[in-house]
Amino acid sequence: MTAEAERLVSENLPLVYACVKRFTGRGETPEDLAQAGFLGLIRAAAGFDPALGCRFSTYAVPAILGEMRGLFREGGAVHVPRKDKDRARLLRSKADALASRLGRAPTVSELAEAAGISAAECALLWGVFTPPLSLSVSEDDPDAPARVAPVPGPEEAAVRRADLERALGRLSPEDRALLRLRYREDRTQTETAAALGMTQVQVSRREKKLLARLREELGDG
């Protein structure tokens, strides 16, 4: 893995925890979901090309969610070899010691450096024993430094943004143009109608249908 891919994994680890929340209570454990998500993140980091013209989070979220959905399709948990479980336990101990020394939760890069492994390998091992509480740990929790840090808002926003961009991509060019004029260029329905060769009533009706469809696809029912 390149240094740039390592950096992307290290900086975007919280995306995995934001994605785990999508599948809470559906039969798979947070640990297995996180492990699968880390694999998706690593693959996304290895295959990302800035020339694609999109944010890394937009590119990575589908890969992360895809690996998680694979658990349900395959009907089984992620298989973790015994030796990796043992290494994960050692990594946890090292993380606790490093957290005590730093006075905060170590970053993936810091933990990987301390353990003498890559950020990608560190991320995968970290997911082996991710406790459920670590996905929503309070900043006031005295044990927080030894656990995964709480998911910050920007990561959840990135997941939402990626979902929205995919949903918009499934619309026709005409429907995307209508929403762009209304919500990106902030045009009135009358101005939008004139630009698209429609009536104001047609724009109003179509807009309502499109918004209802997007709400349903995004789970905002």
State how far Cα 126 lies from the chain centre: 16
Band (pLDDT 50/70/90 cuts) for residue 165 is confident
Which DSSP symbol is given to 146?
Answer: G
Which DSSP symbol is given to 171?
Answer: S
Side-chain-side CA neighbours of 143 within 13 Å: the count stands at 7
Q: Residue 168 is encoded by which pair of tokens?
A: 């918009």
Which amino acid is it at 25?
G
Hey, what's the torsion of the CAs at 91, 97, 100, 103, to 10 degrees?
-50
CA distance 218 to 165: 11
CA distances from 61 to 43, 55, 67, 73, 148 (A): 11, 10, 10, 18, 19
Band (pLDDT 50/70/90 cuts) for residue 200 is very high
- What's the predicted TM-score (pTM) here? 0.50
Residue 207 confidence (pLDDT)? 92
CB atoms near residue 45 (< 10 Å): 26
Band (pLDDT 50/70/90 cuts) for residue 143 is very low
Q: Residue 90 is encoded by which pair of tokens?
A: 């050692």
Domains of the chain listed by start with CATH number: 3-146 (1.20.120), 172-221 (1.10.10.10)
Residue 26 confidence (pLDDT)? 73
Residue 155 confidence (pLDDT)? 52
Chain segment 85-104, per-residue pLDDT in tens: 677 778 878 888 888 888 88
- The yes-or-no verdict on residue 40 having pLDDT over 70 is yes
Instruction: Name the residue with tokens 């030894």.
Output: 146
